A and B are shown apart, each in its own frame.
Chain A
Amino acid sequence: NAGVMQNPRHLVRRRGQEARLRCSPMKGHSHVYWYRQLPEEGLKFMVYLQKENIIDESGMPKERFSAEFPKEGPSILRIQQVVRGDSAAYFCASSPLSGHTDTQYFGPGTRLTVL
């Protein structure tokens, strides 16, 4: 049973470019969460999505960041016109539709470096 998958694991972008981070939830999970982690810090919530719906985006920066979870395919976190401060590890988590819906399972993360 595959866990949460994220790709790429490492991404290098120059300032001003776009970054696209992908997340495939665990089989049977329909809730997806994105978190950002800066060095020496805990994870900070960004956005919570269900299929085709954004449920909570209270942690998303107002500009340049967007997220989607289409009916088919992985969830995408998109960062436009990246700046050096966007360099961080981005983690995706998923949780099941029923049962313990608040138990989240994390992927290995995407480490974004902005040059």
Chain B
Amino acid sequence: GQQLNQSPQSMFIQEGEDVSMNCTSSSIFNTWLWYKQDPGEGPVLLIALYKAGELTSNGRLTAQFGITRKDSFLNISASIPSDVGIYFCPAPYNQGGKLIFGQGTELSVKP
């Protein structure tokens, strides 16, 4: 079946540092989504990518959809304590269908 691999699994950084995490798959996707999940809450959509090569920003967050459509990365610049959480990068199995999730990247930010 289709799988998504996220790396790193966890990160411990100092406040103010930049962060980079990525998502890879052996399958090709037409859409890639980045979510953040806080403890006890549902995933919140950060950035949606719809075209290969697309680079999209949302405040301090920047995400890119790989040109091969098999990977994506998320950068967070000048991290702050509220960036703490688990970041997921699911992709739809089919148009309008279920999302395939990886195991997430857990980010910890030290003030």
Using a CB–CB cutoff of 8 Å, the interface residues on chain A facing chain B are 4, 6, 31, 33, 35, 41-45, 48, 55-56, 58-59, 91, 93, 95, 100-109, 111
Q: Mark B31-68, 1 if CB is under 8 A from A, else 0.
A: 10101000011111100101000000000000000000
Which residues of B have CB within 8 Å of A35? 99, 101
CB neighbours of A95 from chain B (8 A):
96
What are 28 A-to-B residue pairs whose CB atoms are below 8 Å? A31-B96, A33-B99, A35-B99, A42-B88, A42-B90, A42-B101, A42-B103, A42-B104, A43-B88, A43-B90, A43-B99, A43-B101, A45-B93, A45-B99, A55-B97, A56-B97, A58-B98, A91-B43, A100-B31, A101-B95, A102-B31, A102-B95, A103-B31, A104-B33, A106-B42, A106-B44, A107-B42, A111-B40
Nearest CB in chain A: distance from B25 CB, A: 13
Q: Decide yes or no: A91 and B98 within 8 Å by CB, A102-B31, A102-B92 being known contacts.
A: no
Q: How far is the CB of B22 from chain A (nearest CB, A)?
A: 15
For residue B101, give the distance in angstroms from its CB to the closest CB of chain A. Answer: 4
B residues in contact with A41, CB < 8 Å: 103
Give the shortest distance, in Å, between A113 (CB) and chain B (any CB).
Answer: 13
Name the A residues within 8 Å of B102 (CB-CB): 42
